[in-house]
Amino acid sequence: MIVTYRRVPAVHHVSGVFEAGSLTALAGPNGAGKSTLLKAIMGLIPLSDGRIDRNGASTRQMAYLPQVPEIDRSFPISVTQTVSLGSWPRTGAFGAIRPSEHARAHDCIDKVGLCGYADAPIAALSVGQWQRALFARLMMQDAAVILLDEPFAALDERTTDELMQHVRAWHDEGRTVIAVLHDMAFIRRHFPQTLLLAREVVAWGATQDALSDENIARARAMTDRWARDEHTHAEHATA
């Protein structure tokens, strides 16, 4: 598959398979196309070439957590209302939330450590509390495939550890989890599989092999090369 922005590849000839039930880190330097790849898998941006085989599943059956800064928290809704949005694949966008779904939302809120915040407006939450609420919404979706874009960015160690427990639980339940991450040591501790990306696939497989020093250096060099080519293309386009 290929995804381009202004005729410059953001993801270039990426081909491979995320095995069902796998726990995979999506790693690479800034500008490597990691977030773009997740958005393409979710159908949020068009492909320039190629296709994505979701094994018969629709994107409604997948759960996606974007980066925190991409989500507008100014809308005046509560934590419970936010978490309940995770039920829309079952109820429909305009369907009434059944009492069972409402009870489930409160259970998810408790599981992520937000007991007592159910009625709080989302604008009042800290970054860590907001991320917990988003994890609760993921639980509500009950999806077989879960995509996480920098799920632990700007979080303290305690919050990261507690949310990582939920990621492990999803993996233990046989769900497929793909997470964009930057901390290589964290990836090595927690993720058995890694896709190392530099707009192209640098390595894809067991983490200890994919994140070799040689592969990481290659990824940086490739990403730098893409950035130089993009800069040159922009200069020619404006000349």
DSSP for 79-95, please give it. HHHHHHGGGHHHH-TTP
Within the chain, which residues score under 50 in pLDDT?
A: 239
Write down the pLDDT at residue 117: 97
- Pair 196, 26: CB distance under 8 Å: no
Q: What is the DSSP letter of 109?
A: H
Is the distance from CB of 207 to CB of 25 less than 8 angstroms? yes
d(CA 230, CA 236): 10
pLDDT at 72: 83
DSSP-derived letter for residue 97 is P
Collapse the DSSP code of 45 into the 3-class scheme (helix H, G, I; strand E, B; otherwise coil) and give the result: coil
pLDDT at 7: 81
For residue 59, which of 72, 85, 33, 40 has the smallest C-alpha distance? 40
- Amino acid at position 119, single letter: D
pLDDT computed for residue 215 by the predictor: 98
Q: Which residue matches tokens 């018969």? A: 56
Query: Full-prediction pTM beyond 0.85?
Result: yes
Domains of the chain by start residue, with CATH:
1-57+177-239 (3.40.50.300)
Rg, the chain, Cα only: 19
What pLDDT does 211 receive?
A: 98
Distance between CA 81 and CA 83 in Å, rounded? 6
Query: Strands, DSSP E only, in the chain?
Result: 3-5, 8-11, 23-27, 62-65, 145-149, 176-180, 193-198, 200-206
CA distances from 167 to 5, 28, 138, 151 (A): 32, 20, 11, 10
Which of 219, 179, 230, 177 lies closest to 28 in space, CA to CA?
219
The secondary structure element, H or E, covering residue 171 is helix 157-172
CA 42 to chain centre: 10
- What count of other Cβ atoms lies within 10 Å of the Cβ of residue 49? 11
What is the rounded CA–CA span in Å between residue 4 and residue 12? 8
Q: What is the pLDDT of residue 236?
A: 53
